[in-house]
Amino acid sequence: MGYEHLCTPCEHQLSRRAILGAAGAVGLGALLKPAAAAELEKKHKQVLFIWIDGGMSQLESWDPKPNTVFGGPFRAIPTSVPGIHVSELLPRSAKIMQHLAIIRSVHTQDNSHSAGVARIQRGDPKNRGVTYPYFGSAVAKFLGPGESGLPPYVWIKPGSGGFIHQDAGFLGPKFGAVAFGDGKPPENLVLHESLTPEEDDERNALRQAANARYSKGRRKQMGEATSYVYDVARTLMRRQDLFDTSKFDPRDVERYGTHEIGRHMLQARKMLEAGVTFVKVNSYGWDTHGDNFNGHLSLMPKFDQAFAAIVSDLADRGMLDNVLVIAMSEFGRTPRINGHVGRDHWPEAWSVAMAGCGLKRGLVVGETNDKGTFVKGDEHDIGALFHTWFAALGIDSKAVEYDNSGQPLPIAHDGMQAVKELLA
């Protein structure tokens, strides 16, 4: 049996490492009245962004269609909210439906990973000849680091880590992601034994003076980014406890799961508790062109365990009022089952799960038709979700603009608007 049509690893790699531009922008505080800016800072908002790379099937998760031609072998089960059902592969999430908001009417454009990953995370604004920032970089710019002093945008992911400046687009590299490969800290984070803390302070003062001299006559964004990387490194040197998994409560480790997404989600909770503004967690391997049902039978329980655990913990700790939780892919999967017993890419009708600040809870917005092939009623593109998420975070996406070196730009697609049914 041939698999020539399936996606290749390099396509995924390119989609995550597309080359982005860089330029400047103003912060949210400069665009709001002082009192409003102070109030927003007082109630510091955060985001947990769970990226299911490859495309989670909506039919095996949030929008099951059992006993239909395309429904597959899994049942729909009731949730904690009467009348709302999800796939039987999500038993733990079903029990916390009272915290969740599901939108089943997402309709986007790109059915390839290389286009979809970037388009979805940038919000697909109208083409103005510039590369827009990912949502994480936008939130980092508008909400800042808060009082934690930690990098405002961190990414916990399988594989390697590093400073992912490309995510920031025209905002400039300062607002890129600090990625922790497998949740581990950057290399050489411990101060060398030959240096005392006082000597390190002197060395840092010399670095700052050299950076100031280097920045003269050069683009502001590049100097800021260089200083930022060193400042972040020094902060992380002081917060190595964030990476000490030996201090996790064994009961938490068991609840979240010892698998990859479980470990990463538990560390994400620790980052949120420490005050990080935007925490992104990746899960790879969801591109089920072949053997979709066994693939989701393996993948979904791990996601379900970790997702339900962190939403429950955020709710129990009183953090869900200030943390916006988003779990999504670049698209859904085809209702039609292919010759490899798989589902292909399907941006026409899929689902996104959310929870937390600014959102109503315990509801489903939108629906698909009986076979799950297309949206029934109003369709919602990713631009509408960006407006919704900004609104949930207290950012007026119709009034606030980016400033791209004097060029005003909308922060979300100016031909779309928020999904009001989701907003509290």
pLDDT tens for each residue of 363-390: 999 999 999 999 999 999 999 999 999 9
* Domains of the chain as residue ranges with CATH: 24-187+239-422 (3.40.720)
pLDDT category at 3 given cuts 50, 70, 90 is very low
**Which residue in 282, 256, 300, 284 sits closest to 86, CA to CA?**
300
Is residue 180 helix, strand or coil?
Answer: strand
CA 197 vs CA 39, 206, 240, 242, 328: distances in Å: 37, 14, 16, 20, 43
Residue of 47 and 20 predicted with greater confidence? 47
279-328: per-residue pLDDT in tens? 999 999 999 999 999 999 999 999 999 999 999 999 999 999 999 999 99
The rounded percent of the chain whose pLDDT value lies above 70 is: 85
Task: Please determine, for residue 412, whether its predicted confidence score (pLDDT) is greater than 50.
Answer: yes
Q: Look at residue 174 and tell me whether its pLDDT is greater than 50.
A: yes
pLDDT band with cut points at 50, 70 and 90 for residue 25: very low
Eight-class DSSP state of 278: E
Phi and psi at residue 50, in whole multiples of 5°? -100, 110
Whether the per-residue pLDDT at 124 is higher than 90: the answer is no
| Residue 86: strand, helix, or coil | strand
Token pair recorded at residue 237: 């040197």
Rounded Cα distance, 228 and 220, in Å: 12
pLDDT in tens, 181-199: 999 887 766 666 777 777 6
pLDDT-derived band at 32, boundaries 50, 70, 90: very low
What global pTM score does this model have?
0.86
Calculate the average pLDDT of the chain: 87
